[in-house]
């Protein structure tokens, strides 16, 4: 997404902050500024993670029926990302878990957009023979696999799949874990389910709106570096799971005892897109079971700011990490504009009053994440 588009949505000038003002911005965003970066922040591990996500040419997307559904403004379109396996990665694991399974919708169509970490020798998306079902073969060891899917729901007047009654449902089904979702769940889904064998399943999704209100995902790592500083980084993705850029940041507790984070979002070429700051806390999510309470997990929520330090968007997500797993996992959702809409669980400007908490971000972070593990320009 270009800075010009962000400025258009926020109603602010698209001119970048003068270099002389970067020092002021640095003090407000934990050391991060609006200067350009090396692609992927110069981190080969981060850029390599993007290579783990492969686009899928799903033949279902070429069906005339599906084209008509996508063209109908009354169709519901949801973007769903599912990951399964060791979340976060656990290099000590030697056993293999079989995740052969499927994703299905009771009425409508599914389009596979991307596959994540599928190894050619053991994992595959099976040939599509039914627009309502996606099936796969997947085995995981110390890492995880996943898919990114568009969920398309026709308006009632289409009378599609007329033999099906009741509400539209989407079902994830594998040997280790299965769950059925209602469409209302997919509007603002962001959860990590922990299983007793230390595997996990991570879901996050949003509903696509036919308006100028960009939305997408971010996913990557959240944990502690060798100095004990809290750090995170990952990919910034847009509709259809396209990787638009990268995010990097740090988190910790400030002198006032507030758990805060800072970050920077760049495009794939390293150009500045936005600054992040907000709050986080450690606690199990709403689907936590007894095993989840034994792990370090939590949430983060904050604002996205342009080069003129104007609030232009919201970021929100979950993480799992511990000192024993420095490469912990994080996932989240972002949106630009549409602050007053809360149907996606991301109402922002009035509810969280990020602007009124500026003083919370002017105190340095320490021990739990001192903000000096990795910086930005």
pLDDT digits (tens, 9 = 90+) for 122-179: 899 999 999 999 999 999 999 999 999 999 999 877 877 767 778 899 999 999 999 9
Return the pLDDT at 212: 65
The two structure tokens encoding residue 83 = 């990951």
Q: Are 135 and 58 in contact (CB under 8 A)?
A: no
Structure tokens at 338: 């549409």
Q: Is the pLDDT of residue 334 over 60?
A: yes
What is the DSSP code string of 281-348? EE---TT--TTGGGS-EEEEEEEEE-TT--EEEEEEEEEEEETTEEEEEEEEEEEES-TT--TTS---
Question: What does DSSP assign to residue 157?
Answer: G
pLDDT tens for each residue of 9-50: 333 333 333 434 677 788 889 899 999 999 999 998 888 888
Listed in sequence order, the residues at least 6 apart from 247 whose beta carbon sits closer than 8 Å to its beta carbon are: 218, 220, 232, 233, 234, 235, 236, 263, 264, 265, 266, 276
Q: Given this structure, which CATH class describes domain 55-207?
A: mainly beta
Q: What is the mean pLDDT of the chain?
A: 81
Check whether 298 has a pLDDT greater than 90: no
pLDDT of 112 higher than 70: yes
CA–CA separation, 180 vs 293, rounded Å? Answer: 23
Percent of the chain with pLDDT over 70: 77
DSSP letter, residue 180: E
Highest-scoring range by mean pLDDT, 247-256, 322-331, 348-357: 247-256
**Domain residues of the chain, as ranges?**
3-50+215-366, 55-207
Using DSSP's 3-state secondary structure scheme, residue 35 falls into coil
Query: What confidence tens digit (pLDDT) does each residue in 228-271 have?
Result: 888 999 999 886 667 889 999 999 998 888 899 999 999 999 99
336 beta partners = 313
The neighbour count for residue 46, using CB atoms within 10 Å, is 19
Query: Among 236, 181, 247, which residue's Cα sits nearest to residue 214?
Result: 236
CA distance 330 to 30: 20
Res 176: pLDDT? 97
Q: What percent of the chain has pLDDT over 90?
A: 44
Distance CA 30, CA 27 (A): 6
Residue in 226, 216, 366 with CA at minimum distance from that of residue 304: 216
Distance CA 186, CA 202 (A): 13
Asked if 253 and 369 touch (Cβ cutoff 8 Å), the reply is yes
The pLDDT tens digits of the residues spanning 126-141 come to 999 999 999 999 999 9
Average pLDDT over residues 211-219: 80
In which region does residue 67 sit, left (phi positive, over 0), alpha (psi from -120 to 50) or beta (all else)? alpha
């Amino acid at each position: 997404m270009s800075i010009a588009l962000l400025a258009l949505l926020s109603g602010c000038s698209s001119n970048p902050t003068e270099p002389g003002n970067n020092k002021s911005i640095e003090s407000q965003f934990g050391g991060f500024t609006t200067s350009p970066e090396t692609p992927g922040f110069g981190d080969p591990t981060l850029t390599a993670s993007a290579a783990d996500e492969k686009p899928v040419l799903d033949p279902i997307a070429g069906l005339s029926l599906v084209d008509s559904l996508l063209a109908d403004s009354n169709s519901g379109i949801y973007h769903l990302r599912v990951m399964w396996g060791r979340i976060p990665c656990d290099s000590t694991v030697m056993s293999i878990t079989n995740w052969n399974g499927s994703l299905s919708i009771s009425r409508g169509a599914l389009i596979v957009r991307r596959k994540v970490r599928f190894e050619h020798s053991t994992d595959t998306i099976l040939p599509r023979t039914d627009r309502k079902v996606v099936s796969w073969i997947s085995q995981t060891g110390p890492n995880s696999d996943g898919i990114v899917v568009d969920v398309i729901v026709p308006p009632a007047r289409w009378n599609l799949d007329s033999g099906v009654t009741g509400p539209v449902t989407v079902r994830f089904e594998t040997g280790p874990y299965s769950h059925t979702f209602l469409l209302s769940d997919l509007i603002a889904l962001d959860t990590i389910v922990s299983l007793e064998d230390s595997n996990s399943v991570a879901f996050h999704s949003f509903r696509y709106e036919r308006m100028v209100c960009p939305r997408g995902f971010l996913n990557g790592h959240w944990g502690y570096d060798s100095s004990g500083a809290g750090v995170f980084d990952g990919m910034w993705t847009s509709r259809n799971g396209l990787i638009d850029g990268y995010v990097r940041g740090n988190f910790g507790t400030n002198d006032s005892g507030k758990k805060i984070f800072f970050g920077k979002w760049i495009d794939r070429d390293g150009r500045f897109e936005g600054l992040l700051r907000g709050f986080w806390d450690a606690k199990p999510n709403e689907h936590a079971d007894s095993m989840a309470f034994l792990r370090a997990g939590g949430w983060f929520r904050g604002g996205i700011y342009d080069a003129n330090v104007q609030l232009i968007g919201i970021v929100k997500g979950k993480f799992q990490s511990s000192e024993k797993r420095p490469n912990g996992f994080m996932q989240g959702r972002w949106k630009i504009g549409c602050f007053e809409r809360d149907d996606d669980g991301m109402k922002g400007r009035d509810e969280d009053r990020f602007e009124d908490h500026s003083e919370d971000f002017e105190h340095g972070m320490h021990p739990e994440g001192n903000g000096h593990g990795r910086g930005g320009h």
